[in-house]
Amino acid sequence: MLKTLIGRELLDNLMTFRFAAVALITLLLVVVNTVVLVQDYEQRLESYNDAVKMHHQDLHNSKTYSTAYVIVDRAPNPLSIFNVGLDKRLGNLIGIYHGFMPTLWDAQMHGTDNPFIAFFSSIDIVFVFEVILSLMGLIFAYDAIAGERERGTLRLVLAQPIGRGQILLAKYISAMACLLVPLILSLLFALLFLTRSIPLSTADFFRIAGIVLTSFAYLSLFYLIGLLISVATRRTGTALMLAMFVWGFLILVYPNLIRVTVNPGGDIQARVKTAHNQIQQIIDEYERERQKFLENEGIAGEMSEFSKALGFYHQADVNPVTLTTYIENMSVLSEIRPDFEKYVPVAKRYYNFVEPLATRTVEKAWRVRKQALDEIYVQQATTDRILLKLSPVGIYDAATQAWAGTNLSGLRDFFEAARRYRKITIDYLYAKDAFSSREWFVADKGAVDWRTLPAFTFQRSDVRTNAKRALPDLFLLLIANLALFMGIVLIFMRSEV
Amino acid sequence: MWHIAKRELYDNLNSLRFALATVLLLALMLTNAVVHLREHPVRMQKYRDAAMESLNTLTSRTDLYDLAQKGPEKLYKKPSPLHFSADGGDGLLPAFTHAASHFRGGDLKSFWRMTYPSATPNLKNIDPDATKIDWAFVISYVLSLIALLFTFDAISGEREHGTLRLMLANPIPRHTVLIGKFLGAFISVNIPFVIAVLMNLLVISTSSAVHLDASEWGRLGIIVGIAMLYLSLFLALGLLVSARVRQSAVSLVILLLIWVSFVVFMPNTLASIASDFSPARSYDAFQEDRRQTRRAILEVYYPQLSATDDPSKKMVISGEYVTEDATQDGRLRQEYLSERISQVSQARTITRISPVAIAQHLLEVFAGTGLARHLQFVENVQLYAREYHEFIADTERADPESPHIIGVRDGMSKKEVSPEAIPIFEDTLSLSKDFNVAAMDLLLLTLFVVVLLSGAYLAFVRVEV
């Protein structure tokens, strides 16, 4: 019996105009946007490759250790085609330096030749699905029960020896089977375009499978919302109106509304200020030790001579907004005048003392800063995201971003890697005894050889991590599905025909 | 005709969609007002502080050479008090231009040239994406959707119920029926919209933090007019589809799909495609051009400079060199800016296939935000830069004791310049200019409405009952 019902519903749905129209539009939108997105990705990849080459060259051009310019770049994520998330928005290059702790708040952007283009927001595949799949679900569901009730066929069906739950199940299964056709078809086309120009790894296919699964849950959720409306209303006209306004509210209004109505915490300024003061104290302490060293060496009085001899540049700052802590000790000179040669031993001792001190200071400041940044920026963003999850769109977006690795954690992985790389470079400098070497500040006795410096590599987190990040949201979607289905069955059981 | 309109109106007033539309529009508009009241004073304060600081630095200079060399400091774009009606992506656009000069070493300092900061995408923003809830959003997305929901069954619904036959049995011409239906829907969508707008303005105008003057009220009137024109477009579209299709459910599906493709997707997708047509020079290429130009100028003047020992002649050549350097570099920067702007403008032109893009451009123009406003600001800046140059030249000429060599300290007037004499930058908006910019969009929008209305008429005339 269930089979017959499913068969009937399936035929009913497949033969309609709305099915053809929806399938066509989904396919069209996904394909057109994929082509645009692939092109955009290729451009970003090209500018990434250029940047890597340039930064590599820059490093090998630096002749001394102290003027070395190590910059690492973030490659565009190929899965950003599915959900761009923060991949395009956040900075994609960051300096690696022992007197500085790289975070995403310090990153900069390469490859934006015309930033005005940012006027147009990019449309990714998940966005197309967000809008279209939800609309599809509602359009297919609004008259599922209300329509039959209006036409009187519901009474006929219920006269048969089948449970009401089974009727709902049959309707659900057949509608989902129909709705999956445009979803799968458009995804296949998208993948076709994608794999032609972007090589994807096996792991990427698993991630895409995760995205498809999430899309499925999302689609089903909206179908169930439509079904709920259909069960609860007597007329199709009312059901349709309710469905459309629910759609407009959940998709269009709520995600934009919630961001402005939640007032960002008022004492952000105060929090930044306390952290700033704390870090300033750490820097002051560093400065005191530095001065003490200079006095002990007996060159505190002839600092101007000393700086002139070394082409000396010193800076220890903390940015009052982003709390970026930066300690720089640098010599910009090509050779040492013979009469300044007497300062060389002092200079070696100075750098050998001050650079490890700077490294430690920055690490100490980082502990304060990390906490402050988490409290000020990350928490705010997290709260916003949680509030967004009151709409299925928010959950869907978060889950697909997690699969694609373009969410906040995915991007923080990169900066985590950058910080690890900083550690590696420092170890490298220690291993080379660079701090106490002449090459630290002058290259007149031969330039630094950078070839042995380990290269920076960044692997996106593995599929398991992606899944771990995405599964809570996916479960949320599934639970919402289940709860809605139970609710629908309950209402339908108790409704009069 | 009024009968039909009235009947439609009464029908709609009692309907669920009317109630839902009212609630939705009111909620959105009130949020908009509250957010504006929270944000606008901060924005204005920031602007005032920055502009004041820049002005103080400028007027504190009394030495003519100093004035001529350092230029007019940073010039700030005045935020529009109508920000709530269209945000126009103002957060992305640079809010100032900068008169920059570079230290050249020795006595020879380079003169200022206008630099145009690039757009400022916020690299530190880790918040989820969100569109600003401004009038433009409410009008272009929500209002258009509501318009479709009010008209999709206007004709097909009546045909389904059989009431269309009844109505047409009366001695009324079909176009009267259509116009009646249009007017009925127009008025019933406008009631919640106008109430929401009035509530929004009530909240905004009762607060002392935001002050709107007569011309701004006029602009708001124009914006509401544009909203109504845009609304008519979607009503006409709804009637057209409703007349062509037998079932209202099918009519709604078609309308929704049209709406989704034209309103949600078309503008951004088209823009992404179109922005590749004429890409601007890359930043590196631009810097390379600058370097080459600088070198070329140096190659002209450096041999001349080293050829003479005569200090007065040297001074003349240095003066010419400094002026030429500043002019050429300023010109290159301006060219680069217009290249980038024209790339964006071109992309925006193509998005005009979608009526949403047209409406949004229009709203931006009249709200004094967005790209058009930025271009006007840049134009104002350039006018002012000319005025500033003339001021330097005039003051120089007015001093008979000076050797009149602009570009070198010893060649210029040593007389003290009074702070009152220095021209002051004023960022003004002119409504007539805005109309010029908007004319094309206005015509296009009207054209859309007319075409769709006549389409609806033709479709309805041919309807078999």
Return the axis-axis angle of helices B311-350 and B266-274, rounded to nearest 10°.
140
Q: Chain A residue with minimal CA distance to B157?
A: A237
Sign, CA torsion A421/A426/A432/A434: positive
Residue A96 forms beta bridges with which residues? A70
**Residues of chain B found within 8 Å of residue A113, distances taken between Cβ atoms:** 279-283
How many beta carbons lie within 10 A of that of residue B206, not counting itself?
Answer: 10
| Average pLDDT estimate for B113-119 | 84
Measured between CA atoms, how close is A115 to chain B, in angstroms? 5
> Does the pLDDT of residue A111 top 70, yes or no?
no
- Of the partner residues A28, A131, A248, the one whose CB lies closest to the CB of residue B142: A248
**Please, is B77 exposed, middle or buried when counting C-beta atoms within 10 Å of its C-beta (0-12, 13-18, 19+)?**
buried
- Of the partner residues A17, A249, A252, the one whose CB lies closest to the CB of residue B250: A17
Measured between CA atoms, how close is A432 to chain B, in angstroms? 35
Cβ–Cβ of A120/B126 closer than 8 Å?
no
For A115-164, how does the pLDDT look when each residue is reduced to its tens digit (9 = 90+)?
A: 777 777 778 899 999 999 899 899 889 888 888 888 888 888 888 888 88
Q: Is A12 on the interface with B (CB under 8 A)?
A: no
Cβ–Cβ of A118/B27 closer than 8 Å?
no
**Residues of chain A found within 8 Å of residue B24, distances taken between Cβ atoms:** 245, 248-249, 253
Two tokens, residue A464: 């398991």
Under 8 Å between Cβ of B12 and B151: no
Query: Which residues in chain A (102-161) have CB-CB distances under 8 A to chain B?
Result: 104-105, 107-109, 112-123, 128, 131-132, 135, 139, 143
Q: Is residue B142 part of a domain?
A: yes
Amino acid B202: pLDDT: 93
Measured between CA atoms, how close is A233 to chain B, in angstroms? 12
| Average pLDDT estimate for B396-415 | 82
Measured between CA atoms, how close is B54 to chain A, in angstroms? 21
Sign, CA torsion B13/B16/B17/B22: positive
**Residues of chain B found within 8 Å of residue A53, distances taken between Cβ atoms:** none
| Average pLDDT estimate for A340-353 | 85
Q: How far is CA A434 from the centre of its chain?
A: 37
Collapsing DSSP to helix, strand or coil, A233 comes out as coil
Enclosing H/E stretch for A172? helix A164-197
Query: Which amino acid is it at B434?
Result: D
Query: Which residues in chain A (196-235) have CB-CB distances under 8 A to chain B?
Result: none
> Does the pLDDT of residue A112 top 70, yes or no?
no
How much is the mean pLDDT over chain A?
88
What are phi and psi for residue A104, nearest 5 degrees? -70, -15
| Average pLDDT estimate for A307-328 | 85
Collapsing DSSP to helix, strand or coil, B430 comes out as coil
| Average pLDDT estimate for B375-400 | 90
Measured between CA atoms, how close is A84 to chain B, in angstroms? 11
Query: Which amino acid is it at B321?
Result: Y
Distance (Å, whole) CA A422 – CA A454: 11
Distances in whole angstroms, Cα of residue A201 to Cα of each of A51, A78, A194, A195, A462: 24, 10, 12, 10, 11
**Number of residues that make up chain B:** 465
Determine which of B20, B31, B34, B129 to mutate to test the interface with A (most A C-beta atoms within 10 Å).
B129
Q: Which of A110, A123, A132, A114 is nearest to A80 (CA)?
A: A123
- Cα atoms in the Cβ-side hemisphere of radius 13 Å centred on A438: 13
> How many domains are there within chain B?
1
Distances in whole angstroms, Cα of residue B318 to Cα of each of B44, B238, B337, B406, B442: 43, 70, 29, 9, 52
**Residues of chain A found within 8 Å of residue B192, distances taken between Cβ atoms:** none
pLDDT tier, A394 (very low <50, low <70, confident <90, very high otherwise)? very high
Query: Which residues in chain A (34-63) have CB-CB distances under 8 A to chain B?
Result: 36, 39-40
Amino acid B441: pLDDT: 92
For B301-347, how does the pLDDT look when each residue is reduced to its tens digit (9 = 90+)?
A: 888 888 888 888 888 888 888 888 889 999 999 999 888 888 888 88
Can you give the residue range of the structural domain that contains B106?
1-276+352-465
- Of the partner residues B16, B31, B127, the one whose CB lies closest to the CB of residue A381: B127
Under 8 Å between Cβ of A99 and A327: yes
Two tokens, residue B374: 């930025």
Amino acid B270: pLDDT: 85
**Residues of chain A found within 8 Å of residue B275, distances taken between Cβ atoms:** 114, 117, 120
Residue for token digits 């250029």? A50
Cβ–Cβ of A381/B128 closer than 8 Å?
yes
Q: Is residue B379 part of a domain?
A: yes
Residue for token digits 């590749």? B276
Q: Which of A222, A219, A237 is nearest to A147 (CA)?
A: A237
Cβ–Cβ of A240/B252 closer than 8 Å?
yes
Measured between CA atoms, how close is A329 to chain B, in angstroms? 24
Q: Is residue B292 part of a domain?
A: no
Q: Is residue B316 part of a domain?
A: no
**Residues of chain A found within 8 Å of residue B364, distances taken between Cβ atoms:** none
DSSP sequence for B310-363 = -HHHHHHHHHHHHHHHHHHHHHHHHHHHHHHHHHHHHHHHHGGGSHHHHHHHHH
Measured between CA atoms, how close is A294 to chain B, in angstroms? 32
Q: Which of A18, A251, A265, A320 is nearest to A141 (CA)?
A: A18
**Residues of chain B found within 8 Å of residue A17, distances taken between Cβ atoms:** 250, 253
- Of the partner residues A29, A143, A263, the one whose CB lies closest to the CB of residue B249: A143
Distance (Å, whole) CA B289 – CA A171: 66
Determine which of A113, A321, A324 to mutate to test the interface with B (most B C-beta atoms within 10 Å).
A113
Two tokens, residue A472: 């809570």
Measured between CA atoms, how close is A177 to chain B, in angstroms? 19
The model carries a pTM of: 0.90
pLDDT tier, A289 (very low <50, low <70, confident <90, very high otherwise)? very high
Q: Which of B79, B123, B73, B128 is nearest to B97 (CA)?
A: B73
Name the DSSP letter for residue A300: S
Measured between CA atoms, how close is B315 to chain A, in angstroms? 32
For B420-438, how does the pLDDT look when each residue is reduced to its tens digit (9 = 90+)?
A: 888 889 888 888 888 888 9
Determine which of B127, B140, B252, B277 to mutate to test the interface with A (most A C-beta atoms within 10 Å).
B127
How many beta carbons lie within 10 A of that of residue A9, not counting itself?
Answer: 20
Percentage of chain B surpassing pLDDT 70? 98
Under 8 Å between Cβ of B275 and B350: no
Amino acid B166: pLDDT: 81
**Residues of chain A found within 8 Å of residue B15, distances taken between Cβ atoms:** 241
Cβ–Cβ of B254/A21 closer than 8 Å?
yes
Distance (Å, whole) CA A191 – CA A205: 10
Two tokens, residue B376: 């006007």
Distance (Å, whole) CA B37 – CA A157: 57
Determine which of A116, A129, A397 to mutate to test the interface with B (most B C-beta atoms within 10 Å).
A116
Query: Which amino acid is it at A489?
Result: V
DSSP sequence for B266-293 = HHHHHHHHHTTTSPPPPHHHHHHHHHHH
Measured between CA atoms, how close is B267 to chain A, in angstroms? 8
What are phi and psi for residue A108, nearest 5 degrees? -120, 175
Distance (Å, whole) CA A434 – CA A427: 10
Q: Is residue B405 part of a domain?
A: yes
Q: How far is CA B115 from the centre of its chain?
A: 21
Q: Which of A486, A351, A457, A405 is nearest to A84 (CA)?
A: A405
Q: Chain B residue with minimal CA distance to A36?
A: B273
Q: Chain A residue with minimal CA distance to B348?
A: A120
Cβ–Cβ of A256/B120 closer than 8 Å?
no
Under 8 Å between Cβ of A394 and A382: no
Between vectors from CA B252 to CA B363 and to CA A20, what angle results, nearest 5°? Answer: 115
Q: Is A413 on the interface with B (CB under 8 A)?
A: no
Residue A327 forms beta bridges with which residues? A316
Name the DSSP letter for residue B128: P
For B258-293, how does the pLDDT look when each residue is reduced to its tens digit (9 = 90+)?
A: 999 898 888 888 888 887 777 778 888 888 999 999
CB pairs under 8 A between A and B: 175
Cβ–Cβ of B128/A397 closer than 8 Å?
yes
> Does the pLDDT of residue B447 top 80, yes or no?
yes
> Does the pLDDT of residue A264 top 60, yes or no?
no
**Please, is B397 exposed, middle or buried when counting C-beta atoms within 10 Å of its C-beta (0-12, 13-18, 19+)?**
exposed
Q: Is residue B94 part of a domain?
A: yes
Under 8 Å between Cβ of B357 and B289: no
**Number of residues that make up chain A:** 497
**Residues of chain B found within 8 Å of residue A257, distances taken between Cβ atoms:** 27-28, 31, 133
- Of the partner residues A17, A32, A257, the one whose CB lies closest to the CB of residue B269: A32
Amino acid B107: pLDDT: 62
Cβ–Cβ of B129/A121 closer than 8 Å?
yes
Distances in whole angstroms, Cα of residue B185 to Cα of each of B9, B245, B444: 7, 19, 23
Q: Which of B389, B387, B372 is nearest to B439 (CA)?
A: B372
Distance (Å, whole) CA B417 – CA B423: 12
Measured between CA atoms, how close is B90 to chain A, in angstroms? 10
Two tokens, residue B370: 């967005």
For B16-56, how does the pLDDT look when each residue is reduced to its tens digit (9 = 90+)?
A: 889 999 999 999 999 999 889 888 898 899 999 999 999 99
Q: Which of B102, B121, B119, B118 is nearest to B110 (CA)?
A: B102
Q: Is residue B297 part of a domain?
A: no
- Of the partner residues B28, B149, B261, the one whose CB lies closest to the CB of residue A29: B261
Q: Which residues contact A101 (CB under 8 A, 6 or more apart)?
A: A325, A362, A363, A365, A366, A369, A419, A422
Cβ–Cβ of B119/A116 closer than 8 Å?
yes
Measured between CA atoms, how close is A438 to chain B, in angstroms? 30
Q: Is residue B87 part of a domain?
A: yes
